[in-house]
Chain A
Amino acid sequence: DAKTTQPPSMDCAEGRAANLPCNHSTISGNEYVYWYRQIHSQGPQYIIHGLKNNETNEMASLIITEDRKSSTLILPHATLRDTAVYYCIVRPYTGNQFYFGTGTSLTVIP
């Protein structure tokens, strides 16, 4: 079962940073935080993951609070193509199932 809570929807102006929050207050010590997104009619796409340190890649940054009970995905300069549903998932590193929650529907506005 999903162990995360996300706002159902958010808007962001094109070119601005999109900050997507996720609560995972029952996260265990061996569980990572993964972020995926699903653009309409496509399969979900991996964005980033982390354990306790902040992470950055070419797509986004992941900020995890010190107590690991919440995290924020940051898209630094949102474009119209970033309009999608974003899913936050907690999971042990490998070998276990991914359970998707309801996600956040992000709309980037011109």
Chain B
Amino acid sequence: SAVISQKPSRDICQRGTSLTIQCQVDSQVTMMFWYRQQPGQSLTLIATANQGSEATYESGFVIDKFPISRPNLTFSTLTVSNMSPEDSSIYLCSVEEQSTGSGELFFGEGSRLTVL
């Protein structure tokens, strides 16, 4: 199973600033997914990041607000730009299992972001 590390695990930020979250995977994966989980809510898919191409964003999410990089098959970043208190959430990186072909997703432990 894939092991996913996210940094930072948590942060407190000021309104109007930007924060970049890093996601490192211990194996090469084709598809990486970024999710947001607002307090007390389910997970909402932000975008799908494939290496070598631009990320595909879900309805309600735009590249200017959540730019994503995918420079190689083991790493991705999500930036939350011009933050407001409404961006306070847990942001989770996930990857699809490649070796067994089960199609299951593995998740990092998330990055808990608080915007003041």
Query: CB within 8 A of A32: which of B4, B103, B105?
Result: B103
Write out the residue numbers on chain B whose beta carbons fall within 8 Å of the beta carbon of A85: 42
Query: CB within 8 A of B103: which of A42, A94, A99?
Result: A94
B43 within 8 A of A: yes
Q: Which residue of B lies closest to A43 (CB)?
A: B107
Produce 1/0 per residue, A79-110, CB < 8 A to B.
Answer: 00000010100010111011111110000000
**Closest CB-CB distance, A106 to chain B, in whole Å?**
15
Given contacts A94-B96, A98-B33, contact A87 B108 (CB under 8 A): no
Given contacts A100-B42, A102-B42, contact A95 B105 (CB under 8 A): no
Write out the residue numbers on chain B whose beta carbons fall within 8 Å of the beta carbon of A49: 102-104
- The answer on a CB contact under 8 Å between B31 and A99 is no
**Closest CB-CB distance, A22 to chain B, in whole Å?**
14
Q: Which residue of A lies closest to B90 (CB)?
A: A41
Contact-residue size bin, chain B (C-beta under 8 Å from the other chain): 20 to 34
Query: CB within 8 A of A97: which of B45, B92, B101, B109?
Result: B45
Write out the residue numbers on chain B whose beta carbons fall within 8 Å of the beta carbon of A46: 104-106
Query: CB within 8 A of B33: which of A34, A97, A102, A103?
Result: A97
Produce 1/0 per residue, A21-58, CB < 8 A to B.
Answer: 00000000000101010000011111001000000000
Given contacts A34-B104, A94-B96, A94-B103, contact A101 B42 (CB under 8 A): yes
B48 within 8 A of A: yes
Binding site for A on B (CB under 8 A): 4, 31, 33, 35, 42-45, 48, 58, 92, 94, 96, 101-110
5 closest Cβ contacts across the A-B interface?
Answer: A43-B107, A100-B43, A46-B104, A94-B103, A100-B42
